[in-house]
């Protein structure tokens, strides 16, 4: 029988509250939670043109076509909090919210490379939406597990 390490972190699926951005996202999302809904991960996503367009048109694309989102991922939906980007990381500012319900998601595709990954969400009604997720972001603690979940999309992991 293996001994328990008394100094190890407890094993739990409760989101660790770590960064200021995590705390901000949690406070915004907490007001929107439905009965039985809980926060799984925090994250950061953006709506951006394809990588080739970003390279070709650089500054103009960033100024006019990027939309930044702080993300609260729950067991029922993705809550996107629209924000503005600051110098290195996004501002803690709510310019409006959008949601993507997990029960409407049919398939998740992951593309791109390095820190510019595309997340293609296909919905039950035949529509789709592409968002970008930089997996190396450190100002939110849930980015890596959220990205891992999307790579191996399985609704059973949401419960």
Model confidence over 23-82: pLDDT tens digits?
A: 999 999 999 999 999 999 999 999 876 666 666 666 665 666 788 999 999 999 999 999
- pTM for the structure as a whole: 0.82
Spatial separation of the C-alpha atoms in residues 41 and 58, rounded to whole Å:
31
Q: Distance between CA 25 and CA 75 in Å, rounded?
A: 15
pLDDT in tens, 90-149: 999 999 999 999 999 999 999 887 777 889 999 999 999 999 898 888 899 999 999 999
Residue with tokens 């076509």: 65
Angle at alpha carbon of residue 20, lines to 51 and 143, rounded to 5° = 40
| Cα 142 to Cα 70: distance, rounded to the nearest angstrom | 11
Residues 142 and 124: their CA atoms lie apart, in Å, by 26
8 A C-beta contact, residue 43 and residue 133: yes
Which of 152, 45, 49 is CA-nearest to residue 100? 45
CA dist 3 and 47 (Å) reads 47
């Amino acid at each position: 029988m293996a001994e328990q390490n008394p100094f190890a972190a407890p094993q739990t699926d409760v989101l660790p509250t770590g960064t200021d951005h995590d705390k901000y996202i949690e406070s915004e999302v907490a007001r929107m939670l439905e009965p039985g809904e809980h926060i799984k991960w925090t994250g950061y996503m953006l709506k951006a043109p394809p990588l080739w367009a970003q390279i070709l048109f650089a500054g103009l694309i960033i100024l006019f076509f990027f939309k930044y989102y702080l993300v609260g991922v729950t067991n029922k939906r993705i809550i996107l909090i629209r924000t503005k980007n600051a110098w290195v990381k996004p501002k803690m500012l709510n310019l409006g919210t959008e949601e993507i319900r997990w029960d409407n998601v049919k398939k998740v595709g992951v593309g791109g490379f390095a820190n510019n990954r595309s997340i293609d969400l296909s919905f039950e009604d035949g529509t789709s939406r592409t968002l970008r997720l930089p997996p190396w972001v450190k100002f939110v603690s849930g980015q890596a597990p959220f990205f891992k979940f999307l790579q191996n999309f399985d609704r059973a992991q949401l419960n």
